[in-house]
Each structure stands twice: as structure tokens, then as C-alpha cells.
């Protein structure tokens, strides 16, 4: 079993996931950079290895049970534990030209398959390895768009931004975070949801934050000490409304 911290970041070949890998590795963590396309995961890992960082590519499609199982077995054999799981993989499939009631069921299903069921399935598969770590952390990348309170508040800056499949999927991620954190409250594992902010990525062309800032909350919660929160929804240092 490795003595250094081992982290797995899903959906990490670009954007916030890629930057989360960079920042974790810069903090001395050995990071498994996961992507659906192994070639892209290898390419991304080589870029970070060229910076002198301890990064390893792994193939992982969170929508496929066989891919998740294979990744879990590979990590168990190579590392014997997992200290950090960052559930970062996500999709945005809503049609901006359609009202909430007009979004197709395929849009809902595809969104939930990755954003919700993928998070649950990946967490279930890696929980045994997380339990073998001295002090493990699970970070679920959510969004303020998943805040039911903010969506219902006319004074909220996101009140008029209704992309239902995505928003509701992140509400479900938040609810899952609360359920799992309660289950693990007396263990060595802390579980938290994070809002990265409005970040300039391929998924969000109108973002305000640089990608480096968008990864900071995930990294902070991944490296949380034992006095840190469990079952929270955070953005930088702020606690967000559910």
C-alpha cells in the first residue's frame, strides 16, 4: 500500500477537472487523471508529468459499470487504497431555446446518467478503497444552479437561469452528498459538495472565473483536515444554501 496520498479525479482530461489534478499534484498528492477516452487521459497526464507532477492516466467512464469496476480493480492492485475521490465528471445537455417543460426525456436521462447515477456508481465502487485510507475525502462537484433555495428566490442572481435537467441533477448530487455524509459521519471519511463558480470552460462560454480559480474549492475540500466540515455545500470559504 502506498504511503503517499492517492487521489482520483473523474472527467479530468480538460477544464476544471484537469486543473484540479494539477493543483492536487502540486500539493504532493499522486493523482489518477481519469477520462472516458484513455488516449486523451494519457495525453493530459503527459502534460502534467512534463511539469514534474505525479500524475497517472486511467480510463474511466462513469456511465459504464464495467469501466468503473475495471478502474477500481486497477487502483486496488496498484495502490491498495484511495485517499481522495473527486466526482468531477459532468454533462450539460439542456437546450437553451426550450422551456423547462419542453426539455426532452433523453436530455433528462443523459444528464442524470452522468451527473447523478455516475456519481453514485463511482462512489459505491471506490468506497471500500476509501475506507482503507487513514483520512479519506469525497468531493462532489455540484453547482449553485442546484440550490433549490437560490432557484426559488427572485432576488437570487440565478433565479432566471432555468436549465432544468442540469439544475435538478445538481440538486440530486447535493441530496446524495447529505445522505452519504450522514452514513459516514462516524468514519474517517468526509463528504462535501462544492460549487466551482462561474468558470470559463467549454461547458460555460460566459464564465467569469479562470479555470485555476474554479478548481480551488474542490482542492480545498479534497485536502480538508480532520476538523473540517462533513456534509457541506461550499464555494471558496462560503457555505451555500441547499
Please state, in angstroms and rounded to a whole number, the distance separating the CA atoms of residues 145 and 199.
13
Q: Any long-range contacts for 105-111 (C-beta under 8 Å, 24+ apart)?
A: 107/165, 108/164, 108/165, 111/165, 111/166, 111/169
Please state, in angstroms and rounded to a whole number, the distance separating the CA atoms of residues 132 and 143.
29
33: cell is: 487523471
Show the CA angle centred on residue 163, arms to residues 148 and 34, nearest 5°: 90
Please state, in angstroms and rounded to a whole number, the distance separating the CA atoms of residues 49 and 183.
37
Based on the residue annotation, tell me whether 235 is a catalytic residue of this protein: no
CB count within 10 Å of CB 226 equals: 8
Closest Cα partner for 164 from 172, 175, 154, 174?
172
List helix spans (H) across the chain. 15-26, 38-49, 65-79, 105-112, 118-130, 148-152, 164-183, 211-214, 216-222
90: cell is: 459532468
202: cell is: 467549454
Catalytic residue among 18, 166, 176, 233: 166
Active site residues: 166
Amino acid at each position: 500500500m502506498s504511503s503517499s496520498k492517492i487521489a482520483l479525479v473523474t472527467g479530468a482530461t480538460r477544464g476544471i477537472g484537469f486543473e484540479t489534478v494539477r493543483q492536487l499534484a502540486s500539493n504532493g498528492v499522486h493523482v489518477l487523471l481519469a477520462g472516458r477516452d484513455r488516449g486523451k487521459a494519457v495525453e493530459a497526464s503527459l502534460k502534467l508529468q512534463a511539469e514534474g507532477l505525479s500524475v497517472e492516466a486511467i480510463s474511466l467512464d462513469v456511465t459504464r459499470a464495467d469501466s468503473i469496476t475495471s478502474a477500481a480493480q486497477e487502483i486496488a492492485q496498484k495502490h491498495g487504497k484511495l485517499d481522495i475521490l473527486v466526482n468531477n465528471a459532468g454533462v450539460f445537455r439542456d437546450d437553451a431555446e426550450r422551456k423547462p417543460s419542453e426539455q426532452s426525456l433523453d436530455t433528462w436521462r443523459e444528464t442524470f446518467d452522468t451527473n447523478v447515477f455516475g456519481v453514485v456508481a463511482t462512489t459505491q465502487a471506490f468506497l471500500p478503497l476509501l475506507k482503507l485510507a487513514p483520512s479519506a475525502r469525497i468531493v462532489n462537484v455540484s453547482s449553485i444552479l442546484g440550490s433549490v433555495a437560490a432557484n426559488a428566490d427572485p432576488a437570487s442572481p440565478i433565479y432566471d437561469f432555468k436549465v432544468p435537467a442540469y439544475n435538478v441533477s445538481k440538486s440530486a448530487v447535493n441530496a446524495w452528498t447529505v445522505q452519504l455524509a450522514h452514513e459516514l459521519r462516524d468514519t474517517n471519511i468526509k463528504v462535501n459538495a462544492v460549487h466551482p463558480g462561474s468558470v470559463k470552460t467549454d461547458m460555460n462560454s460566459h464564465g467569469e472565473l479562470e479555470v485555476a480559480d474554479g478548481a480551488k474549492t474542490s482542492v480545498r475540500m479534497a485536502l480538508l483536515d480532520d476538523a473540517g466540515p462533513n456534509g457541506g455545500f461550499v464555494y471558496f470559504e462560503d457555505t451555500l444554501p441547499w
